[in-house]
Structure 1
Amino acid sequence: MSISHNSLAPALFDAMQRGGFSFVTADVMQPLLQSAGELADWPAFAASWNRLGPDPYLAAKGRFRRRRHATFTASAHGGVELAAHQAHYQSLQYNALQGDIERWFEPIEPVIAGGDSLRTILAFCHAFFGSLAPSVSRWHVEVHQFRIEASADAAGEPTPEGSHRDGVDFVLVLLVDRHNIASGTTTIHAPDGKSLGDFTLTHPYDSALIHDPRVFHGVTPVMPLIPGEPAHRDVLVVTFRAKP
């Protein structure tokens, strides 16, 4: 389900309740974010993707991407607070490629973790996901910066684990930048594999919102439009998982 420029948050809420996902175009997402806070540092926020470190765990599998990671906590009646740096963990049930191991990544830079843009994105997610799950009192929140690079010799794999669930409650995938790439289409599937929708994040702020227990998601590989020139896809992924 896709939210058009004529739709506002209630339509987004309804789409998530009905289908378990929604694709949101930048002309809708940016104002929704601005209703939750400031985006004044967006240029610096986007430029921080140029300083991501390589993912050593994926490199060990013969693949390549760059990333940083941070963990936050949130409560129903409080704000979103940065937690101590910690490992990212998924079970093999949710990540057959890299499950059942603690993966430590370089932390998101403090100026970015505490900056306006990320704080605004987290405030929006907290309010919106909280409205979809009002009984949840505490959230475990993880934030991932991803850069997928592509070359003429090797396609970039945004989701090397294939169509998957993350083992959380809610997911936001927000495009920060794409340069000289083709494809990178986000796909949504039912648990039985039936296709439910697809959408290519093309402009900064284009987003996918996902109720993870209900649907699977993936992204098609990316290739450079002009071989030999730098090609990348930069996204921010935010996950919310209810804490017991």
Structure 2
Amino acid sequence: MVAQLGNEACRAFNATWNNLQPDNYLSVGNGTRERRICKFEYRQRDRRWKTLENCHFFQTQAHNPLLGGIQRTYARSETSFTGSPVLQTLLAADLALLDLTVGHRDWLVTCHQFRIPCDEHSAGQATPEGRHRDGHDFVFQHLIQRQLVIGGESRVFHENGETVFSATLTDYMETVVLNDRTLLHEVSPLQKPHASSNPGTRDMLIIDFDLTEH
């Protein structure tokens, strides 16, 4: 569906990852990453999306022992991202799948733009908290791009530790969908395959869907 929008729309959308901000909540030794977030509210009755100004993000320590228990505030995604037809198409596609899975519901939707860098000295840590849940109802993990990296295998597990899925996402908009209430996930470290003046990067769009009651 995204491909039908054309290369120019996709390039403009992808370029917004070049303007992310450092995640200053990560401590030394837990890797580095850049990110922005934005939030929407979806009402199924009138099929309306409302943009929210709130850029806070909270996880319990049970879900995130590394950064849980504190309210974090991140830079808001740029209007070139929030108003992109690519994002609108992705949200509609994700919502259509949830409509089939759990029916027509109201949702709080949080979009996380992530860039995970790595170089010859430091591995990239997409999930520095290790195997975990995010604390949402459903999570969509969309690959935007990866450059000069190896590794970064996406892994999904049952609560009993059994592997449900493992694969390295390589193609544009390749996606993992999680029922975050019943499954855990992690991503293996990213490494640079050879010396280069540029760091390796893995860009992801993570979209959280949380049921709301009105």
- The alignment covers a number of residue pairs equal to 210
Contact 1:143–1:238, Cα closer than 8 Å, also in 2: yes
Pairing 1:112–2:81 present: yes
Give the whole-Å Cα distance in 2 for the aligned partners of 1:156 and 1:69.
20
SS at match of 1:127: helix
Pairing 1:94–2:63 present: yes
Partner of 1:15: none
CA RMSD of aligned residues (A): 1.7
Report how far residue 85 of structure 1 moved. Answer: 2.6
SS at match of 1:58: coil
**Which one of 37, 47, 65 corresponds to residue 69 of structure 1?**
37
Pairing 1:174–2:130 present: no
Partner of 1:157: 125
Cα deviation digits, residues 67-104 of structure 1 (max 9, x gap): 00001111223132211233011111111110111111
Partner of 1:241: 210
Pairing 1:196–2:196 present: no
Give the whole-Å Cα distance in 2 for the aligned partners of 1:243 and 1:137.
8
- Cα 1:75/1:60, change in 2 over 3 Å: farther
Contact 1:163–1:216, Cα closer than 8 Å, also in 2: yes
Contact 2:31–2:123, Cα closer than 8 Å, also in 1: no
Contact 2:119–2:200, Cα closer than 8 Å, also in 1: yes
Pairing 1:55–2:15 present: no
Partner of 2:90: 121
SS at match of 1:225: coil
SS at match of 2:119: coil
- The structure that is helix-richer by fraction is 1
After superposing the two structures, state which structure 1 stretch, 52-61 or 173-182, moved more.
Answer: 52-61
Q: Which runs of 5+ in 2 are unaligned?
A: none
Q: Which runs of 5+ in 1 are unaligned?
A: 1-30
Report how far residue 173 of structure 1 moved. Answer: 0.5
TM-score scaled to structure 2, two decimals? Answer: 0.92
Partner of 1:45: 13
Contact 2:154–2:166, Cα closer than 8 Å, also in 1: yes
